[in-house]
């Protein structure tokens, strides 16, 4: 029996559609494999996976949620960047404007703030899950080390972002934080100066933290995440019972 061609059939059968999407509707194993293999974003996954690796109560989605929060932070962060000038004269007023005048500004800021806190927690919990399931054992030793570096970068991302609102909470938290770094034996004064770009927290500190926060550290994080995800696959997918 021949089915009549619907509008959907015409669209998915057109030359334009077929030039973009190189697989049919994923109701056959062949198309389910193609959809993973032919999409650059889904291609992070293998076509098939061990059944236990899909169990939510094994990973609690913590690694995935950390990555997802990184994406949320990138998007809300870019939107906030349109309204924020990293100048000690303007930053605080920009924050007030984002909260009161910018459409959905307060929502963007809240999502950015709570995701930042959430990401620190999620990354820490993800590390604990990986540890308690013994997933750092060979051949995954190096990926564990990359994970520890990602934990440090997450802390630094959150810490550098903390100064940007330029309110009392930010200013004094970073004062205390950079004093902790400045207590390093032998190099303490230099570390504090390196962090602040000055002897006290001011414009030099703000532009340093801003640059680290919006471009340098995200690039480092993206680089390490690329290694981290790639190694998961090279080391045989996520760990599971032997």
Q: How far is the CB of 216 from other proteins (least distance, A)?
A: 19
Question: Per rule CB under 8 A, is residue 240 in the interface with other proteins?
Answer: yes
Question: Per rule CB under 8 A, is residue 41 in the interface with other proteins?
Answer: no
Q: Of 131, 10, 112, 13, nearest to 63 (Cα)? A: 131
Q: How many CB atoms lie within 10 A of CB 26?
A: 13
Backbone angles phi, psi at 157, to 5 degrees: -60, -45
Q: How far is the CB of 103 from other proteins (least distance, A)?
A: 14
Q: What is the DSSP string of 92-135?
A: HHHHHHHHHTSTTHHHHHHHHHHHHHHHHHHHHHHHHHHHHTTT
Stretch near other proteins under the rule CB under 8 A, chosen from 9-17, 35-43, 208-216, 222-230: 35-43
Instruction: Determine the 3-state secondary structure of 233 from DSSP.
Output: helix
Are the beta carbons of 150 and 217 closer than 8 angstroms?
no
Are the beta carbons of 143 and 131 closer than 8 angstroms?
no
Site for other proteins in 68-107 (CB under 8 A): 68, 72, 88, 92, 95-96, 99, 106-107
Question: Per rule CB under 8 A, is residue 175 in the interface with other proteins?
Answer: yes
With respect to other proteins, which residue has the nearer C-beta, 32 or 216? 32
Q: Of 132, 160, 130, nearest to 147 (Cα)? A: 130
> Rounded distance, CA 77 to CA 82, Å?
9
Q: How far is the CB of 5 from other proteins (least distance, A)?
A: 26
Q: Is 11 exposed, middle or buried (0-12, 13-18, 19+ CB in 10 A)?
A: exposed
**Which x/- pattern, by CB under 8 A, does the window 119-138 give for other proteins?**
-x---x---x--xxxxxxxx
Question: Per rule CB under 8 A, is residue 38 in the interface with other proteins?
Answer: no
Return the residue of 17, 25, 52, 223 that touches other proteins, per CB under 8 A.
52
> Rounded distance, CA 163 to CA 168, Å?
9
Q: How far is the CB of 120 from other proteins (least distance, A)?
A: 5
Question: Per rule CB under 8 A, is residue 40 in the interface with other proteins?
Answer: no
Q: How many CB atoms lie within 10 A of CB 83?
A: 15
Question: Per rule CB under 8 A, is residue 66 in the interface with other proteins?
Answer: no
With respect to other proteins, which residue has the nearer C-beta, 7 or 35? 35
Question: Per rule CB under 8 A, is residue 168 in the interface with other proteins?
Answer: yes
Stretch near other proteins under the rule CB under 8 A, chosen from 13-21, 60-68, 213-221, 222-230: 60-68
With respect to other proteins, which residue has the nearer C-beta, 113 or 225? 113
> Rounded distance, CA 219 to CA 238, Å?
25
Stretch near other proteins under the rule CB under 8 A, chosen from 10-18, 167-175, 207-215, 217-225: 167-175
């Amino acid at each position: 029996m021949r089915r009549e061609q619907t509008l959907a059939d015409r669209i998915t059968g057109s030359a334009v559609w077929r030039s973009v999407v190189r697989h049919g509707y994923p109701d056959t194993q062949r198309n389910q494999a193609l959809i993973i293999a032919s999409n650059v974003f889904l291609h992070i996954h293998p076509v098939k996976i061990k059944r236990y690796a899909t169990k939510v109560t094994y990973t609690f989605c913590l690694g995935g949620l950390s990555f997802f929060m990184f994406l949320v932070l990138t998007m809300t962060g870019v939107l906030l960047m349109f309204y924020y000038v990293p100048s000690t004269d303007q930053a605080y007023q920009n924050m007030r404007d984002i909260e009161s005048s910018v459409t959905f500004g307060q929502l963007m800021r809240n999502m950015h703030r709570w995701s930042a806190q959430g990401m620190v927690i999620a990354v820490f919990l993800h590390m604990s899950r990986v540890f308690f399931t013994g997933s750092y054992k060979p051949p995954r030793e190096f990926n564990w080390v990359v994970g520890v570096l990602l934990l440090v970068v997450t802390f630094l991302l959150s810490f550098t972002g903390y100064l940007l609102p330029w309110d009392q909470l930010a200013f004094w938290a970073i004062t205390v934080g950079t004093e902790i770094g400045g207590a390093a034996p032998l190099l303490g004064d230099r570390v504090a100066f390196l962090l602040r770009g000055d002897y006290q927290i001011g414009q030099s500190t703000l532009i340093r933290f801003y640059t680290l926060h919006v471009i340098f550290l995200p690039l480092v994080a993206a680089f390490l995440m690329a290694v981290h995800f790639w190694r998961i696959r090279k080391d045989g997918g996520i760990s599971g019972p032997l």
